[in-house]
Structure formats: structure tokens, C-alpha cells
Chain A
Amino acid sequence: MTVLFIPFLPLVAFFVLIFFGRRLGKFAPAISLMALLGSFLVSLELFQILLHPEGIISYNPLRVSWDWLAHGEKPLTLGFNFDPLSAVMCLVVTGIGWLIMLYSTGYMHGDSRYSRFFAYLSLFFCAMLTLVLADNFLLLYIGWEGVGLCSYLLISFWFEKPAAANAGKKAFLTTRVGDLGLFGAILLIAKLTGDLSFADLPARAAMLGSWAPVVAVLIFWGAAGKSAQFPLHVWLPDAMEGPTPVSALIHAATMVAAGVYLVARTLPLFIPSGQGLAVVAAVGAFTSLFAATIACTQTDLKRILAYSTLSQLGLMMLGLGTGNSFAGMFHLVTHAWFKALLFLGAGSVIHAVHHQEITRMGGLWKKMPVTAGTFVLAAVAMAGIPPFSGYWSKEGLLTSVSQSLPAGYLAVAMLVSFLTAFYITRAVVLTFFGKPREESHAHESPAVMTGPLLVLAVGAAGVGLLGSPWMGHRMQHFLGVEAGHHEAPHWLESASVLIASAGIALALVRYGLGRQLLPEGLRAGLRPLYNLASAKYFVDEFYERVLLRPVRWFSGKLFGFDARVLDGAVNGAGWAGLRLSRFKRWVDETFVDGAVNGLGLTAGWAGGALRRAQTGLVQNYLLVASAGALIIFLLLR
């Protein structure tokens, strides 16, 4: 039962804030923070029970479930289940989430919808925690839609900006395309196995038979929408229009990881069909490389981070594509810490200089030492320099890839590692070092913002150690993965560090010292490629041409049809009604009124005629009386 507190505390906070938020004023965040802290502490407590299962519940995960719909002989059961995978997600979501929320109290200070923001955040946590704690597909889907809704609300939080409003719509519609896939998968699973629970998935994977690859690909389709994998990735960079804490929380650390979590959770359904895993690996690899190249060319700080997120999510998918859920999940956890830190650092910078162009920044480290220090730490963690967290997860991932997938995938992953180190170093150098390229009155952010940065920095540095050989692969044991089997070959360790260092070094030379890396001739030759990546490979334009324009054209036609035919029919019916009524009025006036008036007229006319008889002359009356008497006499005779 205790597990219920985790998603429901933020829900209570949401209701309190949505109804009384304005009255609470600047105390509004306190409600959210307390509720989420409660969730975090409950998660921690349950986590302790999971770690030391002896005693009351001999390794029986805490769970609660109830029958929701009784249909057929088998009732539809909804329930929450706190198992190791959920535990990891809960701790990441509530832990990082709490820090980001604390940061938001500073970042959003003075916003006109201050309490609304925290209400939405609370709702998001409720949905996200429902998603990760759900023990069946249906409840997961409810949480899935909930986080999608909150993502929409928070991206377009500043809906006065058209760009933000459009980005919200784009995110909602694009992820909805993905949700369709997940929904289809749920329907197929319900139809074929008659049960939506996550329990004994491997056994039910067998029941799917030849449908297994279809279900796997449909689930991945849903995951691709939420985690912004290649064909559906377009919404994530635009989502950066939202407030930066939202970008950090939802579009870097937690919600976009939901797709990865989903695939990790349902991995048993992927494993029997090689095709499903192959699709996951291929899409993941492609997305990671694709987004990494774009990230190297962007100049908007948040967009660099957004494409970096895409790239890292691709890597996680690639890791899951090996059939080893730990490879993806571990990277998810470490990525959540350092990417949240990067985004909050970026938010702190944006808060100080009021724009996002790295070409206009520079030399900020003197003015914002805490932000710069933590940002650099996060960058190093992401680049994969030991002993920081990114190194361990990325290396685990590379090991898994090298053991389970063709060599091409390893090469792609290596290339992505190199590019990651390169672009994040570029961002760091251009933002914090060198000479200031523009006058600014930047100053360090308040303690309520730098505090979370420091705590996150500790996580970004240290959380990877939990899965490292130095601490005996604790995380692997916790998640029930055989650690020894995935021991990295030594050459891979060295290669991974070398590649990351090379990326950092090249970026330092290029952007720190300002030297061109390639000869002039080659640069001119590669210019079109650069432009292509800089324009994000024209995917948005492609969608505009191929999808949106036909849809708009078709909508226009439908509108015309509507206006002409349907409105015409309605108006025609109205016109016919009018005509019919007029005819009826004519009938009424002519015949019905005619009859009534006719009676009156007749009576009047008859009266007028009879009136003549009343002459008033007494002799006339007498004459008539006499004549009448005579007639009666004659008749009676």
C-alpha cells in the first residue's frame, strides 16, 4: 500500500495548487516541494526494503492492485508494483525532480503564473511516477498520456509566445503519432494474451507467436515518439521553447527517458523476435549519429543540449537493442544526472545573459564560477572521462554493443562518443572561456539555483560508480543482471577514453585556440555537408512539404466541402423550412382564418339583412303578425 503514496502525494499537491495556488502566492512551491520530498522519502524507504528483503516480505516487491473492470472470467487488474526497475526510475525521477523543482523556485521567480507552473510540475510527477510504477500496460498508458499532456502544458507554458504555443502543439501531435503505436501494441497484447500485466512477460511473449515482431515494433514506435527517436524526433528541439527547468526535467532527464524505460520494461517481448531488437538498435544508432552531427553545428545553447539529448537517447536505444536492458537503463540513470545538470547550468547562464546564443557569450566563468564549474563537470561526465558517471555507463553500453551486435554498430557508437565529446567541449569553451564577445552584466545565480547545481554535480560525478567494478557492480546486482558476463575487454576501455579525449582535444584546439582543423580546400569541399547538418537535415522542411502541406491542402478541401455542401445542406434545410412555414401561414390565413371570419361575416350579413325587418313602425309589425296569423289559419284549415 505504501507504494501508493509515491504517485499520489504529487497529485494532492496538484489539486491544492490548482485550486488555491493563487492565494498561496510565493508559498505555492512549498506544497509541491513537500509532496515530492514525501514521494522521494517513500521511494527511498521502499528501496531500502528491496535492498534488505529479509524479514517481513522475503523479496516480494511492495505492490498494490485492485480489480478495475470485471469483463469475462478475468477481471482487468490495475496495480502499482515497486520492483528494482521501478525503484531506480522512482529515485531518479523524484531525486532529480526535487532538485529541479527547487531550482525552479528561483528560475521562475516573478512569473505571473508562478503557482500554475508548480501545479503542472506536480501533475507531471504524478503521471511519471504512475508510469514507472504501473504493473500493467493500461496504467502505464494512462501515465504515458499524462506525461504527454504535462509536457504539452509546460512547453507552451509561456503561450503568449507563438513559438512556444506552436512547439507545444508540435510536441503533443508528434508524440501522439507515437502513442498510436503503443496503443496498437496494447490492443494486440490484450487480444492475443488476454492479460495486460507485466508479470511473466517472457511466457506471454511466446503466446504472441508470429505477431511478436509486430508487437515489438509497435511498442518501439510508441517509445520512439516519447523518446524522440529518428522519424519522430522533430518535437524535442522545439520543446526547448519551454522554461529551462522543464527542458531539464521533462525533455532531458525523465519524460523522454520513458520510452527507454518502456522498451527496457517490455524487453522480454523483443527478445524472441530478432527483428524487434534489430529495429531498436538500428533506429537508436541512426538517431544518435544523426543528432550528434546536428549538435556540432548548432549555436543555440539549449538546442545543442536538445540534440545531445536525442543523441544520448539514441545510444540508450542502441544499448537496449543488444537485448541487455541494463546497458540502456544504466545510461538512462547517469544521463539523467549530467543532462539535468547541463540544462540547469544552461538555464543559469540564460537567466544571467538573457539570450541563448553561444556565439555571443564567452568568458562567463569569471562571473559565474559555480555554474561554470558544475557545467564543466557535467560536460566531462557526458564526454565519458573516467571516473565520472558517463564513462561507466557508456563503456557498459559499448561493451554490450561489441558483444551482441555487428561491428558497424560499435563504430557508430564510437563515432558518437567522439562527436559528443567534441560538441560539448565546443559549447563549454564558447560559453565560459575565451574573451567575452559581448558586454553583459551577467552575475552568478541565487543560492536556490546554484544549490541544486552543486548537488546534481555530486550525482553526475558519482552515480556512475554504483555500476562500476570499483563498487562491485552494485547496480547490476540490484537490477538482477549478470555483471561478470559483460566485463569489458581492455582495449575497449582504452579506446573509449582515447576517443573521448580526442574529441575534447580537437574541440579545444578548434574553439579554444581558434585554429582550423582541416585544410582550407577540404573545408570548402565539406561546406555543403556542414550546411546540411546545420539545417537539421531538412527533416522539418521535409515534413512540412510531404506531410503538413498535403494535410493542410486536404483540410482546406474538406473545409470547402464543409462550407459548400454541409453548410449548404443545413442552410437549404433552413430555407426549405422557411418556405414551408410561409406556405403554412398562407393556408392558415386563407382557409382557417377564412372560415372563422366567414362565419362572423355571415352572421353579420344575416344580422344586417334581418335588421331591415325592424322598421320600428308598429303598423308593419301588426301587418306581419296579421299575415302570419292568416298563413297559420290557412295552413291549419
Chain B
Amino acid sequence: MIIPLSHVLVVSAGLFALGVFGALTRRNAIGILMAIELILNSANLNLIAFGRARGDAGGEAQVVALLVIGIAAAGAVVGLALVLAIYRHRKTISADEIKLLKG
């Protein structure tokens, strides 16, 4: 049974929307990081789906997806390190209270 491309795209779009919503609404900085992971994963899903749809013989789409997963992991590491540093200084990781750059 072949899952048509459109179905995958719908799931991916839903995942993206969920990620954006989470990134915009979560107060917890770690939550925001997790939501961003969701957005990246939706993009990965799209990559794979389009690669499959175009008859990806060499697996180039999958290589790019793997690259994105790696970079996302690195981004999460930096993000978590920042969150940890902020927590040490300010005893909070609520995004509402962190506005040092307010103009």
C-alpha cells in the first residue's frame, strides 16, 4: 500500500503548526526548544516525502535529513547550555521573565 504524498504533507504541516504554536506559546524555555525540534522534524518529514516522491535512488534526501537531525542536536545542545546558564544566574527559565534586551 502506497501512502500518497499529500497525506504525508498534511501530517508534516500539522507537525509544523504544532511546533510553531508551541514555540510561541510555551513559557518554559525547554518547551520552546522542544517545539523547535518539532518544526525541524516536520521539515525532515517533508524532505523524505519529496525525496521518495521524486524516486530518490541515491538517497540524497535522506542524507540531508540526517544532516538536519545532527545540526538540530547541536542546536539543542547550545540552547540547553544557554538555558542552564540563564537558570544559574536568574533562578528561572520562564521566557516571560527573560527580557534583558528590552529596548
List A residues 14-50 near B (Cβ within 8 Å). none
Of A615, A623, A626, which one neighbours B102 at CB under 8 angstroms? Answer: A615
Q: In chain B, what residue has the closest Cβ to A617? A: B99
List A residues 159-205 near B (Cβ within 8 Å). none
Interface pair A626/B96, CB less than 8 Å apart: no
List B residues 18-40 near A (Cβ within 8 Å). 20, 23-25, 32
Q: Which of B24, B25, B96, B103 has the most CB of A within 10 A?
A: B103
A611 neighbours in B (Cβ, 8 Å): 103
B65 to chain A, nearest CB (A): 22
B99 neighbours in A (Cβ, 8 Å): 615-617
With A622-B23, A622-B24, A626-B20: A617-B100 Cβ-Cβ less than 8 Å: no
Interface pair B23/A619, CB less than 8 Å apart: yes
A-B pairs with lowest CB-CB distance, top 7:
A614-B103, A616-B99, A616-B102, A611-B103, A616-B101, A617-B99, A623-B24
Interface pair B24/A619, CB less than 8 Å apart: yes
Q: How distant is the Cα of A618 from the Cα of B99 in the complex, in angstroms?
A: 8
Q: A601-617 interface mask toward B, CB cutoff 8 Å, 1 = contact, 0 = none?
A: 00000000011111111
A618 neighbours in B (Cβ, 8 Å): 32, 95, 98
A617 neighbours in B (Cβ, 8 Å): 95-96, 98-99, 102
B20 neighbours in A (Cβ, 8 Å): 626
Interface pair A619/B95, CB less than 8 Å apart: yes
List B residues 30-69 near A (Cβ within 8 Å). 32
Interface pair B24/A612, CB less than 8 Å apart: no
List A residues 180-238 near B (Cβ within 8 Å). none
Q: B72-103 interface mask toward A, CB cutoff 8 Å, 1 = contact, 0 = none?
A: 00000000000000000000000110111111
Q: How distant is the Cα of A611 from the Cα of B99 in the complex, in angstroms?
A: 13
Q: In chain B, what residue has the closest Cβ to A612? A: B103
List A residues 588-637 near B (Cβ within 8 Å). 610-619, 622-623, 626
B101 neighbours in A (Cβ, 8 Å): 614, 616
Interface pair B95/A616, CB less than 8 Å apart: no
A610 to chain B, nearest CB (A): 8
Q: How distant is the Cα of A610 from the Cα of B103 in the complex, in angstroms?
A: 9
A191 to chain B, nearest CB (A): 95
A610 neighbours in B (Cβ, 8 Å): 103
Provide a sorted-by-A list of 6 A–B residue pairs whose CB atoms are within 8 angstroms. Answer: A616-B99, A617-B96, A617-B102, A619-B24, A623-B24, A626-B24
Q: How distant is the Cα of A439 from the Cα of B100 in the complex, in angstroms?
A: 118
Q: In chain A, what residue has the closest Cβ to B27? A: A619
A613 neighbours in B (Cβ, 8 Å): 103
B103 to chain A, nearest CB (A): 3
Q: In chain A, what residue has the closest Cβ to B20? A: A626
4 extra interface residue pairs, beta carbon distance < 8 Å, beyond A614-B101, A616-B101, A618-B95: A612-B103, A614-B102, A615-B99, A616-B102
B63 to chain A, nearest CB (A): 26
B103 neighbours in A (Cβ, 8 Å): 610-616
A626 neighbours in B (Cβ, 8 Å): 20, 24
B100 to chain A, nearest CB (A): 6
A497 to chain B, nearest CB (A): 130
B102 to chain A, nearest CB (A): 3
Q: B7-20 interface mask toward A, CB cutoff 8 Å, 1 = contact, 0 = none?
A: 00000000000001
A629 to chain B, nearest CB (A): 10
